[in-house]
Each structure stands twice: as structure tokens, then as C-alpha cells.
Structure 1
Amino acid sequence: MGWSPAIYKFVDGGEVPVPPDMAVVRAVWEPHDVGDPRHTVGEDGSLCFWIRASDGSEAEMFADGYGVPVSRPGAGAVFGIITELASRLGAVIFDPSRGAIVCGAEEHAHLPAGMQEDAVVVDMTGEAVEAALTGPRRS
């Protein structure tokens, strides 16, 4: 069973996430892509990349007009790539299995009022986001 957080951008307290900027998504992902380039762009403009971080941790990442689902991220530096994308998009990271939202202070202000109370505000670093979503890593 895989664990799949997702990245969504909210603006001015709106209830519906806004589409991610696909140019930003590509700029963050392309340097880390190890998948088949023939399968990165769908006919509808959606993106699918297999990302590998410098420590070997990986995740399959998708982007479409709704948001950015992340499939089965491994523990480690891949969270830095996930966090970089969320930061550059001005977005939050949502864990649907727990209903948890992790974000920076600026993004928190843009969440719908009903989501603000439960959101966890952290420094947007890979380590902080990973700890907030999965608990501290054991050595």
C-alpha cells in the first residue's frame, strides 16, 4: 500500500485549489527525473515524472490542473524536492491519510478558514516537512 501526499495551492482563502504553474513544476522536476521522457507529458498537458534525489530516495510525481499528487515518497532527500516545489508554487502539502496540512506561514494565510486551524506551519525544508508528515526519522 502506498502513501501519497499532494501539493495544492490556495489563494485568498478560496475553497478550491488553483492549478499549479506547470513551468515551475517542470523546472523543479526535470533535473531529478529518471523516468522515460516519452511518458512525462500527457495528451491533456498533465505531467508525470519519476524523481530521484541525490541520496537515492524516490517518488513518482504527477501534475494536472488540480494539483500535484506524490506517489510513495521514500524517506530522505526526495522531501527536499517535494518541499522546493511546494515553496516555489506557494502551495501546501496535504496528507489525505491523516487529513494533515503542512505549509509555510505565507501559504497558511491563503488556506480556506476551515483548514487553517488544523494546518501545521513549519520552516519549509525537506527535513521539517518530512518530520511533520511522517514523524522524525530514526537513525
Structure 2
Amino acid sequence: MSYSPSIYKFVEGSDAPVALDMEVVRAVLIPYDVGDPDRTRTEDGSLQYWVRAEDGSEAEIFVDQTGILVERPHSGPGVFAIVAELAARLTAVILDPSRGTFFCGPEAHAHLPADMRKEAVLIDMTGEAVEAALIGPPLP
């Protein structure tokens, strides 16, 4: 099953996501990138990374001007910690595509449009919390 959460940034209650700070995106992802560095930037200017966390969990990550797609993240708090760090440093929200639910920290929550603010779920931006919110707590 393919599962792809997304990350978006909103400001001042606007309904549309805003441009991401690509310097922050690169700063977070480059240390974990195990893909071909020559293929990081695509012809259309978007970025793609294949990241591997210290615990061995991986994901393909695609970045365009206003969104980040996390394709097929492996279970494990490591890759979800990378997702959490991206969201926290960008002051962004994580969209669970299976439920249409936004997860975010309090800083990002304050910038959501009013209707989204009512529906969004506040969580700690840690690997464990993001993994639990998106796929449920790890099995014992």
C-alpha cells in the first residue's frame, strides 16, 4: 500500500498554502539523502530526495514550491522524526491523506484558516507523535 502524507505552510489564515523556505528544506533533508545528488533538482525546479534515518527507515520526498510529498515512509520513528523536523522548522502542517486530517504544532495552528483550525489536531512534532498520528502507535 502506498501512503503519502504531505506538508504545507499557511500564514495569517490564508486558504492557500504559501511558498516554502527551500533553504530550510535542504538543511533538513540533505544530511539524510542517500539518493543521487545529481538528480536532486528536476527539470521543473522541484526537489527530490531519498532519505534514510539512523534507524534505517526511509522515504522518498518530493518538494515543490508549496508542498512536500512524503512517499511511502517506512514505519519507524526515524523517518517520521525527519518529517516532524520539516514541519516544525517550516511552521507547517502535515496532511494525513487517508483521513483528510491536518496535524500540527501550536505555531502552525495559529496560521491556519479558521475552518481548518477547528479541524486540525495539535500534536508534538516528534517522530513518535507523528508516526502515531499518521499510522497509529507501534505494535509491541
| TM, length-normalised to structure 2 | 0.96
Read off the aligned partner of 2:26 and give its amino acid letter: R
1:43 is displaced (CA, Å) by 2.4
| TM, length-normalised to structure 1 | 0.96
Q: Is structure 2 residue 94 aligned with structure 1 residue 93? A: yes
- Distance in 1 of aligned mates of 2:138 and 2:120: 21
Instruction: Compute the RMSD of aligned alpha carbons.
Output: 0.9
Work out the percentage of aligned pairs sharing the same amino acid. 63
Aligned residues: 139
> Where does 1:73-112 land on structure 2 (aligned, <5 Å)?
73-76=73-76, 77-112=78-113
Unaligned stretches of 5+ residues in structure 2: none
| Aligned residue in 1 for 2:49 | 49
* Deviation string, structure 1 residues 1-36 (Cα, Å, up to 9, x no partner): 300000000001100000111111111000000111
- Distance in 2 of aligned mates of 1:82 and 1:68: 10
1:133 is displaced (CA, Å) by 1.3
Unaligned stretches of 5+ residues in structure 1: none
Q: Is structure 2 residue 131 aligned with structure 1 residue 130? A: yes
Q: Which runs of 4+ in 1 moved over 4 A?
A: none
Contact map agreement 1:120 1:132 (CA 8 A) in 2: no
* Deviation string, structure 1 residues 110-129 (Cα, Å, up to 9, x no partner): 11111112111011111111
- Distance in 1 of aligned mates of 2:34 and 2:45: 19
* Deviation string, structure 1 residues 75-125 (Cα, Å, up to 9, x no partner): 111000011011111100001221011100111111111111211101111
